[in-house]
Structure 1
Amino acid sequence: MFKSVKGQFIITIITAVLFVFHIFVNVTELSGFIDILFYFIMIIAVYNAGLLTQKYIQTNKAKKK
């Protein structure tokens, strides 16, 4: 989809923030399996955002040298 690290970084951060926001705002109860699945996907999105943050910082440091 996005070939640049900056584009991937921005989209991933937005996705992770929206997942976390939805978890805190959603007060309705879903079935148990759907809740567990949604939390699992949120954890993966936040973890992926952390990995891309590290990759983005490392590529920016390499460009500055």
Structure 2
Amino acid sequence: MLTPGAWKKSSFSGGGQGDACVEVAHRRVHIAIRDSKDPARATLTFPPRAFTPFIEALKTEPPG
């Protein structure tokens, strides 16, 4: 479970600076996702009930 307001980086961030991934934060009414390479840019937000289906689709959809 995410601590409300805190950004959590994926454990699959990769080597080096560990910035080749996304970060996720639990907000009051949504889940937020941002690019770890550029955290000041825009974030994606999802209602909590839509977050899990979004992640599952990323795991199963072919790229492109």
- Normalising TM by the smaller chain, what interval? under 0.3
Structure 1 length-normalised TM: 0.26
Q: Which structure's residues are more often helix, by fraction?
A: 1
- RCO (CA 8 Å, sep 6+): is it higher in 1 or 2? 1
Whichever of the two has the greater Rg, that structure is 1
Structure 2 length-normalised TM: 0.26
Q: Which structure's residues are more often strand, by fraction?
A: 2
